[in-house]
Amino acid sequence: MSNGQESRTSSEIFQKGFLEPFLHSEERPFVKLLNWYTGFGKTYTAAVFAIDLFVNRDVIPVFIAPLQSLVAGFASDIQVHHRPDIYGDEIEAAIRSTGNSVPVYRLYSIDYHLNDRTFFAAALALVSWIHGSPQVVRDLDNLTGQSARKDDLTARLAELRAKSVICRESPYLGMSTSDDTYEDSQAAYLRAARRARSVADSLTADLIRIELAARERKEGSPGYLNEPAVADMVRRLHPLQAFLDKPGIIICTASKAQVSHSVFVYDKARLRCKPENFENLPAFLEELNRDGSELGRKVSRRADAARVVTFVDEEEDSYWYLFSQRKSVLNPDDRSDLSIVVSEFFTFFDLKWPFAFEPINGNHIDHQPQPSLSSDRGNRATSVRFHCVCIPGRMPGVEPSNSASGKSRRHGCAPSLQTMSTLPSCQRPPRHRVNRPE
């Protein structure tokens, strides 16, 4: 290795914590729980494994964490691992062989954009680029006529410029809440910011439609999505669209993973582009994973369907945010504690707690057949291939558990419970006991 550095893939945490359970799964669903010390390098090594999955194994990595700071930290780790001439290992060689760095697509919330001054600088760059491109203006004018919009392109560009300048120059983000003019400044800023984001989103969506329609008609792509000003805005406002155009690693907070997302696809029957909406990020990943999926074929070289590995950092906190966003018949009162949600899940579907978790005469049963997830209350189970690495970052002193591989290629509602129960008792990680529903 260059500079005497050890290969990143030769470390024990990489081999035992990430690579071995993945290889042992043999394309089947699996759940791996890592309970190593804080600062042991779990998230840092997860970034290495994410790169390895993408460049060497044609797998889409997805990283989910409860806080923006953890998501930003993972993105920084990916960037660190991209630095050349440090390790000289197979990861570095694989990145070089692709000719490009591994893209990272972060899913942002609306509030994040509203409080990000760089967003409004990007919006002003988009306006300047459109004004300086006569062909783009003609294409947008033609699209505006087809959609019968009341506001013409000139007015939209003027409004976006004006609102973005207001937000860029507003003192609001630097003001103290005790300032006498804070509330008035906040109200003016948020009005301008929301409108600027709305217009920028509309223009960006129009440029995506123009690009996709030209590609489908084979008229020669105008290359709008490759222009820096447009590419920057697409990554901010439509990151999954940018991901479909050039696959990479998806990262987001747990709460953002549970809001709706959309991508534009070309409808050959109607000869126009339309948005395809997904209830949440897992629904989008499920579509990539579906056999015969057009979107899956865009992002993977696999013959059947794209494979996805999801990393869940700070697992219990992440689940709290996920459950909080997913109020349903299972959790109508927003009781987001993991133990409560699991207990109510089994109660709702009339399932018994898996015997593999229960001690009998002080000893665990190695394995018992798992209950079916079907129910006469309706088919609420979604069938997906579930591959997950959970990184709690808690419970110091607990040894890492071995991998758990699912028996079948597809899983239902509770793959983590189903696959974890196949662990031999000596390998099963300690867990808090949950009372079995009567």
Helix (H, G, I), strand (E, B) or coil at 277: strand
Q: Looking at the structure, do residues 379 and 339 belong to the same domain, yes or no?
A: yes
Q: Looking at the structure, do residues 131 and 212 belong to the same domain, yes or no?
A: yes
Q: Looking at the structure, do residues 119 and 99 belong to the same domain, yes or no?
A: no
Q: Looking at the structure, do residues 163 and 91 belong to the same domain, yes or no?
A: no
Range of the domain at 338: 2-103+308-420
pLDDT of residue 377: 36
The answer to whether residue 286 is domain-embedded is: no
Q: What is the pLDDT of residues 223-237, one digit of tens each?
A: 899 999 999 999 999
The answer to whether residue 128 is domain-embedded is: yes
**69 contact partners, CB below 8 Å, separation of at least 6:** none
Closest CA to 322 of 305, 310, 309: 310
Q: What is the pLDDT of residues 344-362, one digit of tens each?
A: 777 776 665 554 444 545 5
Q: Looking at the structure, do residues 414 and 317 belong to the same domain, yes or no?
A: yes
pLDDT(201) > 80: yes
pLDDT(132) > 50: yes
Q: Looking at the structure, do residues 115 and 164 belong to the same domain, yes or no?
A: yes
Q: Give start and end residues of each alpha helix (H) in 82-181.
A: 90-98, 110-114, 117-131, 134-147, 153-169
Q: Looking at the structure, do residues 325 and 413 belong to the same domain, yes or no?
A: yes
Q: Looking at the structure, do residues 180 and 233 belong to the same domain, yes or no?
A: yes
**Other CB atoms within 10 Å distance of the CB of residue 264:** 19
The answer to whether residue 257 is domain-embedded is: no
Answer for the pair 49, 299: CB distance below 8 angstroms, yes or no: no
Q: Looking at the structure, do residues 204 and 149 belong to the same domain, yes or no?
A: yes
Q: Looking at the structure, do residues 153 and 223 belong to the same domain, yes or no?
A: yes
pLDDT of residue 102: 87
What kind and span of H or E run contains 309? strand 307-313
pLDDT(312) > 80: yes
**Other CB atoms within 10 Å distance of the CB of residue 373:** 20
pLDDT of residue 196: 97
Q: How many domains does the chain have?
A: 2
Helix (H, G, I), strand (E, B) or coil at 156: helix
The answer to whether residue 431 is domain-embedded is: no
Q: Looking at the structure, do residues 361 and 397 belong to the same domain, yes or no?
A: yes
Q: Looking at the structure, do residues 95 and 120 belong to the same domain, yes or no?
A: no
pLDDT band at 255 (very low <50, low <70, confident <90, very high): confident
Distance CA 193, CA 163 (A): 7
The answer to whether residue 129 is domain-embedded is: yes
How far, rounded to the nearest angstrom, does the alpha carbon of residue 279 sit from its chain's CA centroid?
13
pLDDT(166) > 90: yes
The answer to whether residue 119 is domain-embedded is: yes
pTM above 0.85, yes or no: no
